[in-house]
Each structure stands twice: as structure tokens, then as C-alpha cells.
């Protein structure tokens, strides 16, 4: 799991737009709660050397919606590999509220070199967005 603090969240360190919370007192992991932005952009990466070559992995954003608004029409979840780019679009407004959800950005077969890059984007319509909580990105061996 790549936690929210390890992601590059546009305006993520500006308290006017994002708030950092520790939801579980026993876990020493912070999550990012979106207060308001019109330009949503979250990026991360992982060198493939940390993965087992030849194995298939899923890349999933772990998010929660809480009193969400402004996510129109759809957010883009992107997975960039050394030789290809996968994109998925999803309406975040349609997700259940106050429940952790895994949104799949894509899957890939790990190579011996290179890195994977992943992102969540919503800036086609510059609506003010709020109510998204980012836990992180899960990179899990596909079954």
C-alpha cells in the first residue's frame, strides 16, 4: 500500500484545500480529506524492482466519499507503464458514501525494469469539488 502522504496531491499541503486526518487511532497512517478544489490531481509511482517479475498486479485507489459534491462528469484513473497507458473513467458521485472503496486504475504484468505511474484526475470541468478522502493506492498481486 502506498499511503496518501506518499502521493503527490496538488494543493495537498495547503490547509485551505486539504485536511490530513488520522482516522484510526491505532494506525499511524494519515488520510487526505478534500475540503475544496476545482483542479483534482493525484499522482504516484513505484519502481518495478519492488514487484515480482512476470506476475500480474492490480492498481487500485483506496478512497471514501463523504458529503461529496462537484465530481462531474467523471474522474480519470490512469496507469502508465513503460510500454502502454491505461485509463478508466468513473463518476465519483455514484460511489457509496462513508465506505472505503477500491477503484481500479488498471492491471499490469511486472517487468524487471522501469516504473509504474498512477494518477487520479478530475479537471475537465472546473467545478468546486469536496468530500473525497484518499487512503492511498493498493498494488496487489492479481488472483
Contact 129, 93 (CB under 8 A): no
Predicted confidence (pLDDT) at residue 143 exceeds the cutoff of 80: no
Confidence of residue 71 (pLDDT cuts 50, 70, 90): confident
Confidence of residue 26 (pLDDT cuts 50, 70, 90): low
pLDDT in tens, 95-104: 899 999 999 9
Least confident of 31-40, 101-110, 121-130: 121-130
Predicted confidence (pLDDT) at residue 105 exceeds the cutoff of 90: yes
Q: Considering its fold, how many domains does the chain have in total? A: 1
Mean pLDDT for the stretch of residues 94-113: 93
DSSP string, 38-72: SSEEEEEEEEGGGS-TT-EEEEEEEEEEEEEE---
For residue 129, give its domain range.
2-141
Percent of the chain with pLDDT over 70: 98
Q: What is the CATH number of the domain that holds 97?
A: 2.60.120.260
Model pLDDT, residue 25: 66
Distance CA 54, CA 142 (A): 12
> Closest by alpha carbon to 137, among 122, 110, 116?
116
Amino acid at each position: 500500500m502506498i499511503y496518501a502522504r506518499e502521493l503527490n496531491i496538488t494543493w495537498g499541503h495547503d490547509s485551505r484545500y486539504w485536511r490530513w486526518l488520522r482516522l484510526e487511532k491505532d494506525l499511524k497512517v494519515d488520510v487526505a480529506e478534500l475540503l475544496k478544489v476545482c483542479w483534482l490531481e493525484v499522482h504516484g509511482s513505484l519502481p518495478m524492482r519492488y514487484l515480482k517479475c512476470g506476475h500480474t498486479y492490480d492498481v487500485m485507489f483506496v478512497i471514501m466519499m463523504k458529503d461529496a459534491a462537484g465530481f462531474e462528469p467523471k474522474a480519470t484513473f490512469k496507469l502508465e507503464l513503460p510500454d502502454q497507458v491505461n485509463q478508466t473513467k468513473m463518476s465519483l458521485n455514484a460511489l457509496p458514501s462513508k465506505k472505503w472503496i477500491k477503484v481500479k486504475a488498471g492491471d499490469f504484468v511486472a517487468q524487471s525494469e522501469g516504473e509504474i505511474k498512477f494518477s487520479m484526475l478530475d479537471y475537465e470541468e472546473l467545478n468546486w469539488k469536496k468530500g473525497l478522502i484518499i487512503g492511498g493506492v493498493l498494488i496487489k498481486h492479481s488472483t
